[in-house]
Amino acid sequence: MSTAVIIGAGPGLGAAAARRFGAEGFAVALVSRTQANVDALAEQLCAQGVDARGYAASVRDLDSLRDALRRAASDLGPAEVVQYSPIPQPEFLRPVLETDVDDLRAAVEFSIFGPQAVVAEVLPSMRERGRGTLLFVNGGSGARSNPAVAGTSVAFAGESAYARMLHTALADEGVHVGQLIIPGGIEVGHPTHDPDVLAGHLWRMHTEREGFRVFAEPMPDVV
């Protein structure tokens, strides 16, 4: 059985992606900060027929993140798909003139150091097997900087650059790297921002493997 790892798994997009990949035969590792939360989500998904297990880790605690990935690989098998989609913290969402160095440091840890640690952990196995998918999920400030949310604008720009470079470097090795940009919030029942609709994008990014960036809805003058 193939394994999908969802980092930042919660009741919205994380659960929807787990259901979608689970329906396609994947075992799903759910990674988030609180063990009780991912255990409860795993229980709900198992009741729906998804082989899901929860692992507690913070993306800003790289040792805990690496440990969670190693435990998931031991329990479920090496990751074929990894989705990096933790929800930004409030200090990342301050206006630029109210953002200090500690805010930026936290955002960089969250959106650059965390992804690099994940990739370093899962990529060797993907390259050895000649297949895999790395999916990065960001808000609109990942594609267009916004002075109202300075931390994510700075850190998502770095995450986007890192992911795009990986996309280029791994293109000939069977490992696909893609980024889903979701302008605005995720909203149940919305025609483009519903979690299940977004999970469909993620599944197609994994299976169709065309291009780097996908938008949940168009952002004019951004590619």
- In tens digits, the chain (223 residues) has pLDDT values of 799 999 999 999 999 999 999 999 999 999 999 999 999 999 999 999 999 999 999 999 999 999 999 999 999 999 999 999 999 888 888 999 999 999 999 999 999 999 999 999 999 999 999 999 999 999 999 999 999 999 999 999 999 999 999 999 999 999 999 999 999 889 899 999 999 999 999 999 999 999 999 999 988 776 5
Three-state DSSP state, 4: strand
Q: How far apart (Å, rounded) are the C-alpha atoms in residues 191 and 167?
A: 29
> Residue 89: what residue type?
Q
Q: How far apart (Å, rounded) are the C-alpha atoms in residues 31 and 179?
A: 19
Instruction: Compute, in degrees rounded to 10, the torsion defined by CA atoms 17, 21, 27, 32.
Output: -10
pTM, to two decimals:
0.96
Q: How many other C-beta atoms can be found within 10 angstroms of the C-beta atom of residue 75?
A: 12
User: CA end-to-end span of the chain, whole Å?
Assistant: 35
Q: How many other C-beta atoms can be found within 10 angstroms of the C-beta atom of residue 171?
A: 13
Q: How far apart (Å, rounded) are the C-alpha atoms in residues 133 and 166?
A: 11
Q: How far apart (Å, rounded) are the C-alpha atoms in residues 31 and 148?
A: 29
